[in-house]
């Protein structure tokens, strides 16, 4: 036990390695939220009038809404929405032609994060590379591989660029999955979103590389509100990755993003997230408040949307990546590993809404709680009337690694069709001492044994991640957790 | 006598309380609890849909129609209880009419002498030491609006005290009969105290007699189970469609005690069952079983909360539902394991079959766990009758209807097997047979 405690000590004190902040010149709006700020953001982005009108409608609706306080199992102080800076952008020269024009400080930042934009550029043509859209303080700074993708007809650019260049697509799809009336944070996002990524895969195209957005909050006192829209047209396929980090600060910063996915007939979208926002220090000070609305719709037959998430960061996570299974035979998947340590709180899960016939959904959720944290799975499986032969399987396991943390499961199952088959199972337990003993007997020390067991426990989810991410996820898990058995 | 007040809102219920509180039974101790309870109700209010605990049960709709408040016993023409008896069940009979104990109709022959059975009103006077020790201790007035409301208005019910080391040989059958000519609101309140190493079997049935209108009954039953005691508690709800019930059973278990409960709902228009069990001592065991078979526009909501407060306890829940017609079934169970409750084993299962396209099932099995050395799991599944099994039986010469019935009987069998009073089980079997045959 003593030995375990030492390891625990060692690992809990392991530092958040993305906690640096970069000295990039930024342009910020004054803190506070009003119609003027909404207009200011819109003007900054040179947006057409319809976009501004949309933002204003959302802002007015947001004012009538209440924070979702009563149902999530989360405790946090009042958020003063007037204290937040709603717009911060790295100062940059317009129309970057090549990387040499990019602020060198910015490039250094991405080097440190392990995403070298330059490297990526040079690697063009090499197999299994990733196109990256990098977003700092809610403004897209650089998108790589655009030309290569354009050859195939794939549009992958920042959201603001898409508003300018592809207004017909934005008008058609934006808000079609997550309307601004959806919830408090979605409305807020619709009013003040500053940038994000847009991706369109044309008919019959299989995207040749992984598309990725890298989010970074840098400026102090800002909130990040980005918006991602992915449209997969008939018969197309795309795998999309999202990563995020933030500097270590004593204050709590707000991140309220919206992700919308539209999957047409026979199309498939795979969306993977490794969420590693700054989780706060070991006394629970600081950290990101992560309130995210992610939803996809399988619009037509045989379409598929798959969410995979590894949640290790943020002091508060409120996130329910969902799938609306509208088309017949469509498939929704949700694979999640959520790890909380110290004073982190997570209330996360999914919503699967079955509308079409023969729709299938799978939910695999693995929660790991350590320290004083609370980790909740909250998921909805809804089978509407007329969703004949709908099928759902959910498995939600929780692992407790200390006697001061909490692990909770709140599934909501609503069934209105008699042909549906829905199964839900959940277990809560700690790492078996006999498992550790077994490993130790065979010469594997406690630390490695725990790593082994936890990795095994999460394997079903890690298997769903693209290779590059799976490696990162395993390492992350090690940093956040290893040895936390008390 | 009925107070001819019309009820529609929280405020109305609070102000009505002021008017009737002088007529309500109980000494100053009880009165002060009533006062606290109405204050709590006033703060909590009739739960709205946004309230997670009432997400699937619209209670506000229930209160939208005007009803009369009943806090005083109604005079009724003589009722014969023969048709409410369970065939072949040799039991002590207690009859409650609209929540008021009817001594005339109750039959307590050969009851162990030390066992006290009395109306709650009388108990307020005669057994004040038990009342002061146990009244409003199991059911927390701050946890639920209807517990608060009932505690404030509680007019009568039955008080049972089984002293230490007493084994009640025969089951005690409590027959609840609701009878009213106009829409009425009732507040039955029961208190059962089971002493150390005592044993008792309780059967409660809920019936309606001559109820042409809708009646709402918000009952609260508190059960204090002391060390080493063993309690079996069966509830059978089989009233007519006009009965609307919000029932709360709150039990508190001490060390080494054993509590088995079965809630079977076959009929009844709108039923909400709250079952709260607090495990306040080590080595407790609780079994919560439930079965609901619904049809037409029935609404049955089963809510359970097992609060593990001490180590080494075990709880087990099995709820099964068969839903037909346009009925709605809800299972909302929560296992709550507090920080101290290490070595807890808790299990929860909710299984449902939908027979009709218009029926709805909402299941919300929840785990809220704050201790690490525990084994907790839950499962929930919903489906239709297994086509393969049906085919198997039909290939062996069974008609589709008999095959279906056989499979449904098999589905409910594991809940039925937990009923340990043979006469009661046989009676239930016939009721279920009838219900499924419809």
Give CA–CA dist B174/B101, Å, rounded.
10
pLDDT score, position B426 = 94
Point out the least confidently predicted range of A159-163, A218-222, B88-92, B266-270. Answer: A218-222
Displacement of CA A421 from its chain's centroid (Å): 29
Residue A439 lies in a domain: no
Per-residue DSSP letter, B24: S
pLDDT score, position A3 = 46
Judging contacts by C-beta atoms under 8 Å, the chain B residues touching residue A412 are 362-364
Compare CB distances from A411 to B361, B372, B380 and report the shortest one's residue. Answer: B380
Say if A419 is an interface residue toward chain B (CB within 8 Å): yes
pLDDT score, position A144 = 65
B438 to chain A, minimum CA–CA distance in Å? 18
Judging contacts by C-beta atoms under 8 Å, the chain B residues touching residue A430 are 372-374
Task: Tell me what the mean pLDDT of segment A130-146 comes to.
Answer: 64
pLDDT band at B330 (very low <50, low <70, confident <90, very high): very high
A412·B364 Cβ contact <8 A: yes
C-beta of residue B219 within 8 angstroms of C-beta of residue B150:
yes
Residue A174 lies in a domain: yes
Nearest 5°: CA angle at A170, between A169 and A171? 90
Of all residues in chain B, the one with the smallest CA distance to A432 is B373
Q: Tell me the backbone φ, ψ of residue B121, rounded to 5 degrees.
A: -55, -45
A423·B379 Cβ contact <8 A: yes
Burial (CB < 10 A; 0-12, 13-18, 19+), residue B233, is buried
pLDDT score, position A242 = 83
Residue A295 lies in a domain: yes
Task: Tell me what the mean pLDDT of segment B348-353 comes to.
Answer: 94
Radius of gyration (C-alpha) of chain A in whole angstroms: 22
Of all residues in chain A, the one with the smallest CA distance to B373 is A430
B340 to chain A, minimum CA–CA distance in Å? 9
pLDDT score, position A124 = 34
Judging contacts by C-beta atoms under 8 Å, the chain A residues touching residue B376 are 427-429
Task: Please state, rounded to an integer, the average pLDDT across all residues of chain B.
Answer: 89
**CA-closest candidate to residue A350, choices A315, A376, A312:** A376
Tracing tokens 């100053």 back to the chain, one arrives at B28
Of all residues in chain A, the one with the smallest CA distance to B387 is A419
Q: Where are the domains of chain B?
A: 3-280, 386-438
Of all residues in chain B, the one with the smallest CA distance to A417 is B357
Higher-confidence residue of B183 and A305: namely: A305
Give CA–CA dist B20/B154, Å, rounded.
11
B405 to chain A, minimum CA–CA distance in Å? 17
Task: Tell me what the mean pLDDT of segment B58-76 comes to.
Answer: 73
- Indicate if the pLDDT at residue A367 is higher than 80: yes
Compare CB distances from A414 to B362, B369, B371 and report the shortest one's residue. Answer: B362
pLDDT score, position A96 = 43
Residue A151 lies in a domain: yes
Say if B388 is an interface residue toward chain A (CB within 8 Å): no
**CA-closest candidate to residue A240, choices A480, A475, A468:** A468
Residue ranges making up the domain that contains A25 = 2-430
For A440, the enclosing helix (H) or strand (E) is: helix A433-441
pLDDT score, position B396 = 95
Residues 29-68 of B with CB under 8 A from A: 50, 52
Compare CB distances from A429 to B342, B368, B374 and report the shortest one's residue. Answer: B374
pLDDT score, position A122 = 39
Point out the least confidently predicted range of A78-87, A90-99, A245-254, B368-377. Answer: A90-99
pLDDT score, position A55 = 93
For B336, the enclosing helix (H) or strand (E) is: strand B328-337
Judging contacts by C-beta atoms under 8 Å, the chain A residues touching residue B379 are 423-426
Tokens representing B266 are 């076959």
Task: Tell me what the mean pLDDT of segment B285-292 comes to.
Answer: 95
Sign of the CA dihedral A436, A438, A439, A440?
positive
Q: What is the pLDDT of residues A94-118, one digit of tens each?
A: 444 444 555 566 566 656 555 555 4
Give CA–CA dist A151/A438, Å, rounded.
55
A413·B382 Cβ contact <8 A: yes
Q: What is the pLDDT of residues A267-311, one digit of tens each?
A: 999 998 888 888 887 787 888 889 999 999 999 999 999 999 988
pLDDT score, position B238 = 84
B52 to chain A, minimum CA–CA distance in Å? 7
Of all residues in chain B, the one with the smallest CA distance to A390 is B383
C-beta of residue A262 within 8 angstroms of C-beta of residue A299:
yes
Residue A451 lies in a domain: no
pLDDT score, position B299 = 93
How far is CA B331 from each of CA A474, B23, B60, B251, B272, rounded to the nearest angstrom?
38, 38, 20, 19, 10
C-beta of residue B10 within 8 angstroms of C-beta of residue B41:
yes
pLDDT score, position A449 = 84
pLDDT band at A30 (very low <50, low <70, confident <90, very high): confident
Q: How many CB atoms lie within 10 A of CB A160?
A: 21
Point out the least confidently predicted range of A9-13, A362-366, A417-421, B78-82. Answer: A9-13
pLDDT band at A215 (very low <50, low <70, confident <90, very high): confident
**CA-closest candidate to residue B207, choices B79, B61, B69:** B79
pLDDT band at A92 (very low <50, low <70, confident <90, very high): low
pLDDT score, position A100 = 52
Tokens representing A353 are 């809404």
Give CA–CA dist A408/A475, Å, rounded.
25
pLDDT score, position B4 = 40
Substitution target from B302, B372, B379 for chain A, most A beta carbons within 10 A: B372
A70·B50 Cβ contact <8 A: yes
pLDDT score, position A22 = 65
pLDDT score, position A4 = 45
Say if A425 is an interface residue toward chain B (CB within 8 Å): yes
Q: Per the structure, how many domains does chain A have?
A: 1
Q: What is the pLDDT of residues A240-270, one digit of tens each?
A: 888 776 666 677 888 899 999 999 999 999 9
**CA-closest candidate to residue A249, choices A225, A223, A218, A274:** A218
Pairs of residues, one from chain A and one from chain B, whose beta carbons lie less than 8 Å apart: 118
C-beta of residue A375 within 8 angstroms of C-beta of residue A401:
no
Say if B355 is an interface residue toward chain A (CB within 8 Å): yes
Give CA–CA dist A412/A320, Å, rounded.
13
User: Where are the strands (E) in B91-151, listed by range?
Assistant: 92-97, 100-107, 116-119
Give CA–CA dist B395/A79, Å, rounded.
66
A221 Rama class: left (phi>0) / alpha (psi -120 to 50) / beta: left
Radius of gyration (C-alpha) of chain B in whole angstroms: 21
Judging contacts by C-beta atoms under 8 Å, the chain B residues touching residue A413 are 361-364, 380, 382
- Indicate if the pLDDT at residue A467 is higher than 80: no
C-beta of residue A46 within 8 angstroms of C-beta of residue A89:
no
A384 to chain B, minimum CA–CA distance in Å? 10
pLDDT score, position B292 = 94
Burial (CB < 10 A; 0-12, 13-18, 19+), residue A1, is exposed
C-beta of residue B192 within 8 angstroms of C-beta of residue B226:
no
Say if A68 is an interface residue toward chain B (CB within 8 Å): no
Give CA–CA dist A481/A341, Å, rounded.
7
- Indicate if the pLDDT at residue A9 is higher than 50: no
- Taking the model in full, what pTM does it have? 0.85
pLDDT score, position A484 = 54
Give CA–CA dist B102/B291, Å, rounded.
29
Q: What is the pLDDT of residues B389-434, one digit of tens each?
A: 999 999 999 999 999 999 999 999 999 999 999 999 999 999 998 8
**CA-closest candidate to residue A180, choices A30, A46, A51:** A51
Residue A21 lies in a domain: yes
Of all residues in chain B, the percent with pLDDT exceeding 70 is 96
pLDDT score, position A111 = 60
Give CA–CA dist B121/B119, Å, rounded.
5
C-beta of residue B284 within 8 angstroms of C-beta of residue B257:
yes
Higher-confidence residue of B65 and B412: namely: B412
């Amino acid at each position: 036990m003593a030995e375990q405690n030492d390891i625990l000590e060692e690992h809990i004190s392991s530092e958040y390695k993305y906690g640096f902040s970069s000295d990039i010149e930024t342009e910020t709006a004054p803190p506070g939220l009003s119609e003027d700020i909404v207009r200011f953001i819109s003007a900054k982005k040179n947006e057409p009038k319809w976009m501004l009108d949309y933002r204003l409608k959302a802002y007015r609706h947001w004012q009538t809404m209440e924070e979702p306080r009563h149902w999530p199992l989360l405790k946090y102080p009042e958020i003063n929405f007037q204290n937040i800076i709603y717009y911060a952008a790295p100062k940059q020269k317009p129309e970057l032609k090549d990387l040499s024009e990019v602020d060198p400080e910015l490039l250094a930042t991405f080097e440190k994060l392990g995403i070298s934009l330059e490297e990526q550029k040079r690697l063009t043509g090499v197999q299994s590379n990733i196109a990256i859209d990098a977003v700092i303080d809610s403004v897209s700074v650089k998108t790589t591989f655009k030309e290569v993708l354009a050859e195939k007809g794939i549009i992958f650019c920042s959201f603001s660029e898409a508003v300018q260049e592809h207004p017909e697509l934005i008008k058609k799809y934006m808000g079609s999955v997550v309307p601004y009336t959806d919830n408090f944070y979605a409305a807020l996002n619709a009013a003040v979103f500053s940038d994000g990524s847009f991706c369109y895969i044309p008919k019959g195209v299989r995207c040749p590389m992984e598309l990725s957005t890298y989010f970074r909050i840098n400026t102090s006192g800002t909130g990040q509100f980005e918006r991602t829209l992915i449209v997969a047209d008939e018969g197309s396929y795309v795998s999309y990755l999202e990563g995020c980090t933030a500097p270590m600060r004593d204050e709590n910063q707000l991140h309220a993003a919206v992700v919308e996915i539209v999957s047409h007939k026979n199309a498939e979208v795979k969306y993977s997230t490794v969420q590693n926002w700054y989780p706060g220090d070991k006394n629970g000070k600081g950290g990101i408040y992560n309130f995210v609305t992610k939803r996809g719709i399988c619009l037509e037959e045989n379409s598929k949307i798959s969410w995979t998430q590894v949640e290790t960061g943020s002091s508060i996570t409120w996130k329910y990546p969902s799938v609306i299974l509208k088309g017949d035979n469509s498939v929704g998947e949700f694979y999640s590993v959520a790890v909380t340590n110290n004073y982190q709180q997570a209330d996360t899960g999914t919503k699967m809404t079955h509308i079409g016939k023969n729709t299938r959904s799978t939910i695999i959720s693995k929660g790991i709680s350590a320290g004083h944290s609370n980790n909740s799975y909250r998921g909805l499986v809804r089978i509407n009337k007329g969703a004949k032969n709908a099928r759902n399987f959910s498995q939600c396991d929780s692992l407790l690694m200390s006697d001061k943390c909490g692990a909770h499961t709140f599934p909501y199952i609503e069934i209105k069709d008699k042909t549906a088959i829905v199964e839900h199972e959940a277990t809560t337990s700690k790492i078996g001492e006999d498992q550790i003993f077994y490993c130790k007997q065979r010469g594997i020390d406690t630390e490695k044994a725990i790593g082994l067991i936890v990795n095994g426990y999460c394997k079903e989810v890690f298997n769903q991640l693209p290779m590059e991410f799976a490696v990162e996820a395993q390492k992350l898990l090690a940093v956040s957790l290893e040895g936390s058995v008390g | 006598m009925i107070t001819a007040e019309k009820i529609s809102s929280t405020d109305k219920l609070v102000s009505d309380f002021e008017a009737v509180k002088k007529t309500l039974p109980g000494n100053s101790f009880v009165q002060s609890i009533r006062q606290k309870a109405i204050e709590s109700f006033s703060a909590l209010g009739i739960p709205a849909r946004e309230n997670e605990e009432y997400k699937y049960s619209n209670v506000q709709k229930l209160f939208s129609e005007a009803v009369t408040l009943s806090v005083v016993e109604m005079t009724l023409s003589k009722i014969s209880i023969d048709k409410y008896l369970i065939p072949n069940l040799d039991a002590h009979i207690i009859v409650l009419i609209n929540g008021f104990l009817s001594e005339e109709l109750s039959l307590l022959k050969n009851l162990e002498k030390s066992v006290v059975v009395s109306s709650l009103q009388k108990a307020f006077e005669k057994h004040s030491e038990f009342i002061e020790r146990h009244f409003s201790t199991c059911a927390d007035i701050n946890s639920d609006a209807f517990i608060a409301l009932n505690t404030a208005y509680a007019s009568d019910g039955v008080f049972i005290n089984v002293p230490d080391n007493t084994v009640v040989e025969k089951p005690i059958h409590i027959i609840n009969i609701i009878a009213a000519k106009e829409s009425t609101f009732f507040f039955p309140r029961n208190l059962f105290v089971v002493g150390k190493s005592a044993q008792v079997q309780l059967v409660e049935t809920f019936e309606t007699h001559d109820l042409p209108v809708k009646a709402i009954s918000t009952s609260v039953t508190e059960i204090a189970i002391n060390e080493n005691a063993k309690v079996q508690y069966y509830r059978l709800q089989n009233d007519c469609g006009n009965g609307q019930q919000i029932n709360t059973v709150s039990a508190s278990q001490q060390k080494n005690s054993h509590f088995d409960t079965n809630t079977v709902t076959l009929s009844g228009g709108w039923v909400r069952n709250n079952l709260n069990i607090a495990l306040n001592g080590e080595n407790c065991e609780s079994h919560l079983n439930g079965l609901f078979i619904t049809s037409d526009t029935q609404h049955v909501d089963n809510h359970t909360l097992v609060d593990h407060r001490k180590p080494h306890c075990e709880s087990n829940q099995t709820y099964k539902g068969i839903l037909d017609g346009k009925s709605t079934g809800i299972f909302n169970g929560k296992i709550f394991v507090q920080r101290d409750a290490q070595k807890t084993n808790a299990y929860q299962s909710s299984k449902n079959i939908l027979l009709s396209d218009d029926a709805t099932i909402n299941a919300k099995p929840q785990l809220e766990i704050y201790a690490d050395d525990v084994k907790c799991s839950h499962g929930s599944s919903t489906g239709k009758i297994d086509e393969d099994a049906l085919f198997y039986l039909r290939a062996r010469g069974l008609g589709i209807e008999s095959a279906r019935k056989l499979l449904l009987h098999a589905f409910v069998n594991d809940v039925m097997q937990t009923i340990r009073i043979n006469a009661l089980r046989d009676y239930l079997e016939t009721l279920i047979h009838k219900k499924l045959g419809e």
